[in-house]
Chain A
């Protein structure tokens, strides 16, 4: 948040907020035997917008997605590392990883870099045994936070908490879940200078993955 910006009066320099360097918003919600994960599409360098099609959510396997917010270079590198680890797992175990296991893997990978961390906050969403949806988020050094309803991360996280709390209902079907998560995302990023410029939503049910791009305010 802007109020924490420090100005070092002795040298008159502004300490940049490293988590707010690129700007991001990621949210995941649980529905009835389905889940939805959504992110904004902006890539910026502080206030300047560089791209409006940045991919923040990535597929690990058909029923497991990870959305990463924070510093964009770490988002890309961490994603590549995790896909690598998952592919090795698939070769050894001849099956896909369960979401709970993957969350533990991400937590361990992040804690390995405890004293020089990856500057991102992951949001993990997947369908586990019996198609039970699983979501969790973590801080940049791997502290897992499991939730039954929704998880948020990014520069717009405070607005997202408010919007999700107000709009969420348990046991929503896929279409209603899509509407809810889209409205929560768009209304939250409209209150954040550093995220927005469109939205990207994945709704995952046991049989299909629907990917949609949201038309949002481009300011």
Chain B
């Protein structure tokens, strides 16, 4: 396809090649545009596509250890590239002995966790005893399964302590429900898994486990653009859950990696005598 460049023609003679070259400053040869050789001239630049499932922009994690369940999350909410909030509560208190984490759509997670809390309370009233973590997670999973395909976005972990001891389940908007010892959900989860898996031992004290959880969230906020804000850490024990800490990750970075004062970069030198 040749463009009409008659408007550019000058009285100067043409040098061998048509396209402008940097060496000649673009002045000496007849100017013309490099045209891409493609069938879809107007749309080829839009065709940079990628098979990527939109990831849930967050980092949450939970793990079972000797003293119960440790649950941690960041606090950033992002809309595409824009940070809409740095102070979102992503650990939802379903009832005094059960916690849920939020990943995916904030409204979806908040609503369905509250709905789950209602169902758990009704179960307690009807059966005169607390619902198990297994039962609560099943209620949520079945509810989400019935809305499958309608665009809900929920990636949550239900952590609690019941008669059988500590319980941890992962439930998502596809209706999937998994029992496990260690989970991390969200776009920052690969980074959190790296730190969590290498530092995990079943026999940890509460302090060691909370430090591991805090570090995992910190490392995920460093590498992942969609995670940040405050790293909250909760512990679920036999008497219920307790919030252990909420540290700003901006400050955590300089706490873990303090900046050494720079030494003088230039040394004054005597001018060489002629």
**A residues adjacent to B (C-beta < 8 A):** 1-5, 7-8, 13-16, 18, 20, 23, 44, 46-49, 81, 84-85, 88, 108, 112-116, 155, 190-194, 215-219
Q: Residues of A contacting B174 with CB < 8 Å?
A: none
CA A219 – CA B46 in complex, angstroms?
30
The answer on a CB contact under 8 Å between B222 and A219 is yes
Q: Check A219/B55 contact, CB under 8 A, given A49-B224, A108-B26.
A: no
CA distance A194 to B54 in the complex (A): 16
Known contacts A18-B48, A191-B82, A193-B82: A47-B76 contact under CB 8 Å = no
A23 to B226, CA, bound (A): 12
Name the distance in Å between B246's Cβ and chain A's nearest Cβ. 14
Complex interface: chain B residues within 8 A of A16 (CB): 48-50, 52
Interface residues of B (CB under 8 A from A): 20, 22, 25-26, 33-36, 41, 45-46, 48-55, 57, 74, 76, 78-83, 86, 187, 221-229, 249-250, 253-254, 259
Question: Is the CB–CB distance between B225 and A115 below 8 Å?
Answer: no
Complex contact A1–B80 (CB within 8 A)? yes
B225 engages A190 (CB within 8 Å)? no
Q: How many A-B residue pairs have CB under 8 A?
A: 112
- Please state if A14 and B52 are interface contacts (CB–CB under 8 Å): yes
Q: Are B80 and A3 in touch, CB under 8 angstroms?
A: yes
Taking A192-B83, A193-B57, A215-B254 as contacts, is the C-beta distance between A47 and B48 under 8 angstroms?
A: no
B165 CB, nearest partner CB in chain A, Å: 35
Are the C-beta atoms of B55 and A47 separated by less than 8 Å? Answer: yes
Given known pairs A47-B57, A48-B225, A193-B225, the reply for A155 and B81 (CB within 8 Å) is yes
Complex Cα gap A56–B86 (Å): 26
B51 touches A23 (CB 8 A): no
Find out whether the CB atom of A115 lies under 8 angstroms from the CB atom of B36: yes
User: Which residue of chain B is the closest to A4 with respect to CB atoms?
Assistant: B80
Bound-state Cα–Cα, A136 to B85, Å = 32
Q: Is B225 a contact of A23 with CB atoms below 8 Å?
A: yes
Residues in B whose Cβ lies below 8 Å from that of A18: 45, 48
Taking the closest CB of chain B, its distance from the CB of A91, in whole angstroms, is 12
Q: Roughly how many angstroms separate A108 CA and B226 CA in the complex, as a whole number?
A: 37
